[in-house]
Amino acid sequence: MLLLPKHISYLFFLLPYLLSAQNQRFQSGLIVGLNFSELEGESITDYYGWNTGIMGIAKLSERTQLGVEFLFSQNGEYILPSYYPAIDYGKIRLNHLEIPIHFDRLVKSDSAKDWYNGRISFGLAYTKLLGYYVEDTEGRTVTEEIIYDKKDALNIQAGVTYYFTKKTGINLRASFPLHDGFLIWTISARFVYLFF
């Protein structure tokens, strides 16, 4: 079962007060979704985990904006361990703090709409490994055998968002760690809700 740390859940209640603004130049919202990554196996869907948090957006011009997110991100393939034993892995839980900053280009797929219903995003994300838990396929805990010399990283991110309404949309995003190029990556599928 995937659970959010208690301190992350408090942010959801504070978000409207932290990021609210009278001017439509600024927006805030919630993000709830999942990460999908290989971690150890043959498929991108081998491991999944939460990718959820809050976001703020500053409009730069009619069709451009700058966004920042504060996320609890689980099982993203962002940071590789410096040592891990050659065993058959079962349950893996990697808990990260993820702070993406992205530049967005707004697009409109339907000229009848009076709002932009699409967004193409490019940016960087700072990621910090907060903690981890690992079991092998027999259920034996092997967390202590995994060694991380480095627990933070920068990731290149690219994504698209389609808005069904002015406030709700779906976002797909790919993350690529800078230290390993495009050899490892994480896909995120997320629901986006804007407050105003």
What is the distance between the alpha carbons of residues 25 and 22, in angstroms, rounded to a whole number? 9
Sign of torsion over alpha carbons 127, 95, 15, 121: positive
The CA R_g of the chain, rounded to the nearest whole Å, is 18
What is the distance between the alpha carbons of residues 35 and 42, in angstroms, rounded to a whole number? 16
- The alpha carbon of residue 68 and the mean position of all alpha carbons in its chain are separated, in whole angstroms, by 11
Q: Which residue has the higher pLDDT, 21 or 44?
A: 44
Average pLDDT over residues 40-49: 74
Q: What is the pLDDT of residue 8?
A: 54
Q: Fold for domain 22-194?
A: Porin (2.40.160)
Q: How confident is the model at residue 42 (pLDDT cuts 50, 70, 90)?
A: low
Residues 6+ apart with CB under 8 A from 19: 26, 28, 54, 56, 195
Summary count for the chain: helices (H), strands (E)? 1, 8
pTM attached to this predicted model = 0.83
Task: Tally Cβ neighbours within 10 Å of residue 127.
Answer: 23
User: Which pLDDT tens digit goes with each residue over 50-83?
Assistant: 999 999 999 999 999 999 999 999 999 999 899 9
Half-sphere exposure of 127 (CA within 13 A, CB side): 29
What is the distance between the alpha carbons of residues 28 and 39, in angstroms, rounded to a whole number? 32
Residues 6+ apart with CB under 8 A from 99: 68, 69, 70, 71, 125, 126, 127
User: Which pLDDT tens digit goes with each residue over 124-150?
Assistant: 999 999 999 999 999 999 999 999 999
